[in-house]
Structure 1
Amino acid sequence: MKGLFLLISGLMISFSGMAQEYNVLAYEPGKKLTWQDFQGRPHASDAHKGAEITVTIFLKARETSFWSGGTSYDAYAVAFKNESWVKPGYKDDYTLKHEQIHFDIAHLYAEMLEIEINNLDKKTIRQKDQVEKMLNEKLAQMQAHQNRYDRETYGGNNYAKQKKWSNKIAKALKIINTEAEV
């Protein structure tokens, strides 16, 4: 499989410090991956794969209310450049698009998490263990979705299924990236 996903548990951490220390690439709507974002090396167990992107979700506290104690959060999909890799024979647009969808899926789950956490009542949002539990649940859901994507597309090798997934994820991205007019 070209794009098997490796999940690294994202905990509530300072995003800016982690990004520099671990060579992390934050998801930006409209910005596409390039092969320069894949700086890692495959492991011996990756012999049957051509490429892999490693993604997760980070949470960052945006602000804490002085009055209620409630915290609002930003959730980010991130890719680890040093853990993402491609073999020379797979550096083509098709494979890169397959890996981009893995990153897009992570972004969709980060957006869902941010909305769910920030819509909690103020008493619940003060409970860090509840926020961490929600993060872990969303990471597990994202992992299942990533696995389903690879399973249904045979790691991108089923072109018809790959096209269906590409259209499905593009539609979802269009919905969440549309600004609501007031």
Structure 2
Amino acid sequence: MHYTGGTTIKLYMKRTFLIFLGLLLWLQGFAQDYNVLAYETDRKLTWQDFKGRPKPSDAHKGAEITVSIFLKIRDTSFWSGRVTYDAYAVAFKDESWVKPAYRENYSLQHEQLHFDIAHLYAETLEVKLNSLDSKTSKDEAEVEKILKNHLAEMQQFQNKYDRETNGGNNYKQQMRWARKISKALGILSTTVEV
């Protein structure tokens, strides 16, 4: 079966509103209200998570997942005012879709790797934001700038994944990327004893 998958990163005028709304709202409640799926390490995507419809411009694709990163304030230090964050990869169910002919495991695994990549970028963003000094950590404009730059880097990486795998059509490259992302996820889940 010929497969061409893809991913879309949500970036538009509502971005600023969503970012800071995400900072204020508990992600689980937000996700339930807006049909957003938060990344969970123990849960893989199913085709039931793809509730959207392709656009006419998507005629050459079999499936697409729309992902982004939401932030939530974890804590604000009483003494320094330093803000720490939690970053979450999310998929927008209503904007992720699959054509009936492509509802098979191989295509789903391709889309799962897009979500896994978003998770990796969310984790590295969290580390980056939580490494900021006290003054910068509470500067909303600076945090938003870092987030936008990180989302742009993630989009480039997602595009590279699709380009090198030919949207999932290059089986050898798809397997290479699966090993690469699996290794990176394994590093994330490794516990360090102190």
Q: What corresponds to 1:129 in structure 2?
A: 141
- 1:151-177 per-residue CA deviation (whole Å, 9 max, x = no partner) reads 010000000000000000000000011
What's the TM-score once normalised by structure 1's chain length? 0.96
Determine if the alignment matches structure 1 residue 145 to structure 2 residue 157: yes
Determine if the alignment matches structure 1 residue 56 to structure 2 residue 58: no
Determine if the alignment matches structure 1 residue 29 to structure 2 residue 31: no
Q: Give structure 2 stretches of 5+ with no counterpart.
A: none
- Aligned residue for 1:163, secondary structure, equals helix
Which residue among 83, 92, 96 is the counterpart of 1:71? 83
Q: What corresponds to 1:88 in structure 2?
A: 100
What's the TM-score once normalised by structure 2's chain length? 0.90
After TM superposition, what 4+ stretches of structure 1 lie above 2 angstroms from structure 2? 14-18
- Aligned residue for 1:53, secondary structure, equals strand
Q: What corresponds to 2:167 in structure 1?
A: 155
Q: What corresponds to 2:192 in structure 1?
A: 180
Aligned residues: 182
Determine if the alignment matches structure 1 residue 114 to structure 2 residue 126: yes
Q: 1:29–1:177: 8 Å Cα contact kept in structure 2?
A: no
Determine if the alignment matches structure 1 residue 6 to structure 2 residue 8: yes
- 1:7-62 per-residue CA deviation (whole Å, 9 max, x = no partner) reads 11352322234312220000011311011111111111111110000000000011
Q: 1:6–1:53: 8 Å Cα contact kept in structure 2?
A: yes
Distance 1:91 1:64 in 2: 45
Q: Give structure 1 stretches of 5+ with no counterpart.
A: none
In the alignment, residue 47 of structure 1 is paired with which amino acid?
A
- Aligned residue for 2:86, secondary structure, equals strand
- Aligned residue for 2:89, secondary structure, equals strand
Which residue among 115, 121, 127 is the counterpart of 1:103? 115
Q: What corresponds to 1:166 in structure 2?
A: 178
Which residue among 36, 39, 56 is the counterpart of 2:51? 39
Distance 1:21 1:47 in 2: 30
Supply the RMSD in Å over aligned alpha carbons: 1.2
Distance 1:42 1:16 in 2: 27
Between the two proteins, what is the percent identity of the paired residues? 62
- 1:86-113 per-residue CA deviation (whole Å, 9 max, x = no partner) reads 0110011100000000000000000000
